[in-house]
Amino acid sequence: MPKKSQTRYGIEITKPHSKEMYTHNDEIAYEMKSILRSEINEAYMRAIGTLAASGGMDKGEKDLRKIGTAIEGSGYGDGYDFDEIKDNILNTLTNIENWSLHQEYGYLCSEGIVPKLSKKMLGFDKATDGCWDCYWEEEVGREEYSQSDEALLKRHKTKLSSESIKEQK
């Protein structure tokens, strides 16, 4: 009996990945990277004290190091300055593969550093909706977002809008 094909978001899930799956995953990766860049810069500004935010400089430093560990796969000890950490993370983020971003964004989402997205990447794992590190909105609907997810998403959309306005100038 042939295996029944699965679809999600109107895209058939195939092995190897189809062109539609690659395009979809690239779009999700772009959104993830935009949010992560914004969060890296905010954590950096909190860590050096130029941005007053809840948690203060200590939380900024912890978030910056946590993002660095997730994205780069290794941590930063006390010998690294914040500029070096931020620059290394941003460089790695530019070149990160989608499968790795898929895994690490889920971890950062579970830590409350980044918001959930409306869709997930396709074809990388068999993670189910509702798993501890799922970074996507469940198919049931928008009600699945918690209030903290809504606040994170709103904060990042505001930052992304203001960043694009700066880029246009």
Q: Percent of the chain at pLDDT above 90?
A: 50
Q: Is residue 23 part of a domain?
A: yes
Q: Is residue 11 part of a domain?
A: no
Tell me, rounded to whole angstroms, the distance of Cα 156 from its chain centroid.
Answer: 11
Domain total of the chain: 1
Q: Is residue 4 part of a domain?
A: no
Is residue 110 classed as helix, strand or coil in its secondary structure? Answer: helix
pLDDT of 144 reads 36
Q: Is residue 166 part of a domain?
A: no
Q: Is residue 95 part of a domain?
A: yes
pLDDT of 78 reads 82
* Residues paired with residue 136 on neighbouring β-strands, in sequence order: 117
Q: Which range of residues forms the domain containing residue 79? A: 16-158
pLDDT of 92 reads 97
Q: How far apart are CA 164 and CA 60, in angstroms?
A: 23
Burial class (CB in 10 A: 0-12, 13-18, 19+), 47: buried
Q: Is residue 163 part of a domain?
A: no
Q: Which amino acid is at 36?
A: L
Q: Taking the complete model, does pTM exceed 0.85, yes or no? A: no
Q: Which residues contact 13 (CB under 8 A, 6 or more apart)?
A: 5, 6, 7, 21, 122, 123
Q: Which of residues 134 and 116 earns the better pLDDT score?
A: 116
| Structure tokens belonging to residue 69 | 């560990």
Q: Is residue 123 part of a domain?
A: yes
Residue 166 has pLDDT above 80, yes or no: no
Q: Which residues contact 120 (CB under 8 A, 6 or more apart)?
A: 8, 28, 102, 127, 134, 135, 136
pLDDT of 143 reads 37
**Window from 63-77, 106-120, 125-139, 152-166 with minimum mean pLDDT:** 152-166
Q: Is residue 10 part of a domain?
A: no
pLDDT of 168 reads 46
Residue 67 has pLDDT above 90, yes or no: yes
Q: Is the backbone of residue 142 left (phi > 0), alpha (psi -120 to 50) or beta?
A: alpha
Mean pLDDT estimate for the chain? 81
- Residue 140 pLDDT class (50, 70, 90 cuts): very low
β-pairing, 6-8 with 11-13?
antiparallel
